[in-house]
Structure 1
Amino acid sequence: MKHYKLTQVFLAGTAAALLASQAHALDGDDMLKKLSAAYASYGTKITYDSVTTSDTTVTAKGVKLKVETADKSPDLPLGDVTFSDVEEADDGGYYAGNVSFQNVDMSKDGGHLTAKDLQIDGLSIPGTPSTASLDGMILFQSAHTGNITFEQDGKRVFQVEKIESNVEVADDSSSLTSDTSISGIWADLSDVKDPKAQETINKLGLTNFNGNIATKGSWASATGKIDLTEFSIDARDLGKLNLTLSMSGYTPQLIKAMQDATVAAAANPDKKAGDAALGMTMMGLLQQLSFNGASIRFDDASITKRLLDYFGKEQNMTGDQFAQSLKGMAPLMMAQLNVPELQNQVSAAVTKFLDNPKNIEIKAAPAAPVAAPMIMGAAMGAPQTLPQVLGVSVNANQ
């Protein structure tokens, strides 16, 4: 009798456990629907043929992406996508520890594109999509691709060794920081169709491009402050170009308004009227922005001397003679802007750089943030005051 009761208890417990596991089983279709809804808030449509779920793994077959605001944009086929280590979040959303994609192998009109090892780690899918806060947006912790190659008519013309991207969100979801690196970029410029351009490329030794691209930045959603601390293109035997930018007012609300305006313009059957309305709306929305600072810096890696020699030869002079002519032209060109202080800075920086090409930088650092309407007003009414409004300076070899 006791054995019978124990058996009953065991069977009842087992049944309860099975029912509980079924009640909490992952709903792969629900996850894909919420992923689709989140993408839709960015003006992108995601479709799929079918979804299967096994334990904590969700596999979507026949996944395609399409930018809804582009009238004739083709679907981007992603094939089968596997979401691993999936968990349901408290807000009804989902978290996937890893998302892996099929290798890309596409051919069209003699072009052949391949991409390997595409994956995302730490993907968060919101339960209720919203551009009003970071909690309602699609976010990931890191993304990675392996080798990407493009061939034309059987000849390799472009390649990237790998792409890596990382995103870190603050504990209170008020801001995020991110960085991206595109490493091992290679491009073949030996078959440029324009004869003159090809001749210039050959003489400057630019038939092969080798380099890397890197970006670093942060965004605070409440104030809309964006700090792009690095956007660099580092090309071997050419030089490194780096841009920085800081502005405020790029809030989630502004992003949503811009997206809505773009969608409305695309839906307008009168394309000219839609574009005109979009332009006016964007002009109004951009007035919410403020400019904090920016810079453009170039560090030379031998391209300057080659350019001076090349264009000097075009003018029947040496590279040094051509550099001297440029130093003489700089003050004359700057004088037309009627900004004496900046004219002197530019002339001094150009002379210093051309005498010994190391680096040159243009920086805008206003004493306080400058509202976009003030910049627009100065540009239209008194353009010669812009350098002073924005705190522009030019320096070389620093």
Structure 2
Amino acid sequence: MMFSRAPGFAAGLTAAVSLIALQTSPALAFDPSGNEIADAFLTLLDSEEGTVESYGSVDASGNTVTISDLLITNEDEKDAKVTIASTVLTGGDIQANGRLKLENLTLEKLELAAEDGGMTLETVSVSALVLPSADEAKSKDTPIGPGYESFEASSIQIRDEDGKVADIEKVSSSIDSMDGDLPTSGQFSITGAMIDVKQIEAEEARSLTDLGYETLSIDVSGSGKWDPDAATVEVPGLNINAKDAASLTISFSLGGVTRDVVTGLNEASDNSEETMALLQNITIANAKVRLDDESLTGRILDQEAQKAGVEVPVYVSQLTGALPVMLGVLQNKELEAQVNEAVTEFLTTPGSLEIAASPAAPVPVAQIMGTVMFAPQMIPQILSVGITANQ
């Protein structure tokens, strides 16, 4: 929803993106402009929580419609409002099913203000956008979100009531291929997210401050491909890079992801039991998690060694000396040796640490869940888990 109050900068981004996919109410608060494309778009913005309070003008030139000075308010939160200096709708077409199709949507100087902070975006651009019809947007049984080819937002500033939380250079995503109404491949990135650690109200943030971080510069990217005929999903890399701290890369391959499973997961998004039942049809072919240290591990070891009143080499020796006892729960001598060697090397000379699951055959999620419940120590063997350091 437009005025979601969920915490954190991710919630702010969600609020911005959802600006183009709101529920509609039967009675319109705004005066229709007479331009069918502009009015169809304004109708979607005019929701129960958000109301199109006013707009400056609607100008049409060729296949381009420009709405100036949009103001959207919320009657339940008097201090909450969204202003958009310019909204440009290009190549608009109202389809037979009532959906609004746009070649491009561009928003300039968007500002979301609320009692607990706000967010500004310099520009938002969405290509090949298809917005749901009014009836689809109102439906709670089969919610339909907007479809698009590419999305980009730039120069994002996120604030809370105490000041700056984060600045983000750019957020972008694309849907590269489709199977009917279902995306089959895509990618996304968040570039240049500068987070003020002191403004994050969480225990983790205080820990980061203690480690010497006043700000964190983070880049996030990822891509994925779903082959509905082969029922496979490939995620070659979900990358999170915190500069001067560490980077994390996650990749995996899944099987059993049929069209029915994907459709079912979409329809059961609010039903955890149905979701879990559908997930049990999926198999894990392989998975990998890699951590590359840039200084975070050294900072943690320095801090913990100081608390223990010893030098870092002594503290590391104490940790690694206790590993054999802790690893006994694995009940797998070969893996115990791998973990002991890799963790000892990583703590002694922080570089990289990689955990990989490479089973000989795909393992059903149902089998994994059952093993976790009744024999968790067998998980590394079932998934053929291995671990390496500094490679």
Q: TM-score range by the shorter chain?
A: 0.7 to 0.9
List per-residue Cα deviations over 1:115-138 (Å, max 9, x = no partner).
120111232468998xxxxxx985
List per-residue Cα deviations over 1:266-319 (Å, max 9, x = no partner).
xxxxxxxxxxxx343232222221112211111011221111111011111111
Match of 2:115 in 1: 109
Match of 1:162 in 2: 170
Match of 1:346 in 2: 339
Match of 1:241 in 2: 248
Deviation of the 1:153 alpha carbon:
4.4
Match of 1:21 in 2: none
Change (3 A) 1:202 1:257: closer
Deviation of the 1:159 alpha carbon:
1.0
Q: Secondary structure at the match of 1:117?
A: strand
Match of 2:260 in 1: 253
Q: Does 1:397 align with 2:390?
A: yes
Match of 1:374 in 2: 367
Match of 1:121 in 2: 127
List per-residue Cα deviations over 1:45-102 (Å, max 9, x = no partner).
9997999794423568979899xxxxxxxx9968675320235789996652211124
Q: Secondary structure at the match of 1:205?
A: coil
Q: Secondary structure at the match of 2:91?
A: strand
Q: Distance in 2 between matches of 1:280 and 1:211?
A: 35
Q: Distance in 1 between matches of 2:126 and 2:373?
A: 46
Consecutive unaligned residues in structure 1, runs of 5 or more: 1-25, 37-44, 67-74, 130-135, 264-277
Mean Cα deviation higher: 207-216 or 242-251: 242-251
Q: Distance in 1 between matches of 2:131 and 2:282?
A: 29
Deviation of the 1:256 alpha carbon:
3.5
CA contact (8 A) 2:37 2:93 kept: no
Q: Distance in 2 between matches of 1:309 and 1:58?
A: 59
CA contact (8 A) 2:247 2:291 kept: yes
Q: Does 1:332 align with 2:337?
A: no
CA contact (8 A) 1:50 1:60 kept: no
Deviation of the 1:383 alpha carbon:
2.0
The aligned amino acid for 1:304 is T
Q: Distance in 2 between matches of 1:332 and 1:345?
A: 14
CA contact (8 A) 1:28 1:53 kept: no
Q: Secondary structure at the match of 2:222?
A: strand
Consecutive unaligned residues in structure 2, runs of 5 or more: 1-34, 75-79, 137-143
CA contact (8 A) 1:174 1:222 kept: no
Change (3 A) 1:322 1:299: same
Q: Distance in 2 between matches of 1:221 and 1:137?
A: 20
Match of 1:178 in 2: 186
List per-residue Cα deviations over 1:250-270 (Å, max 9, x = no partner).
34433433344445xxxxxxx
2:153 to 145, 160, 168: 145
1:296 to 286, 289, 301: 289
Match of 1:212 in 2: 219
What's the TM-score, normalizing by structure 1? 0.71
Aligned-CA RMSD value = 4.1
Deviation of the 1:221 alpha carbon:
3.2
Q: Distance in 2 between matches of 1:126 and 1:82?
A: 18
Match of 2:14 in 1: none
Change (3 A) 1:103 1:255: farther
Q: Distance in 1 between matches of 2:51 and 2:73?
A: 7
Q: Does 1:360 align with 2:345?
A: no
**Structure of greater Rg:** 1
Q: Distance in 1 between matches of 2:54 and 2:228?
A: 35
Q: Distance in 1 between matches of 2:275 and 2:390?
A: 39
Deviation of the 1:103 alpha carbon:
2.6
Decide which structure has greater helix share: 1
Match of 1:226 in 2: 233
Q: Distance in 2 between matches of 1:294 and 1:56?
A: 48
Change (3 A) 1:196 1:386: closer
Q: Distance in 2 between matches of 1:106 and 1:313?
A: 45
CA contact (8 A) 1:308 1:320 kept: no
What's the TM-score, normalizing by structure 2? 0.72
Match of 1:307 in 2: 300
Match of 1:69 in 2: none
The aligned amino acid for 1:283 is M
Q: Secondary structure at the match of 2:213?
A: coil
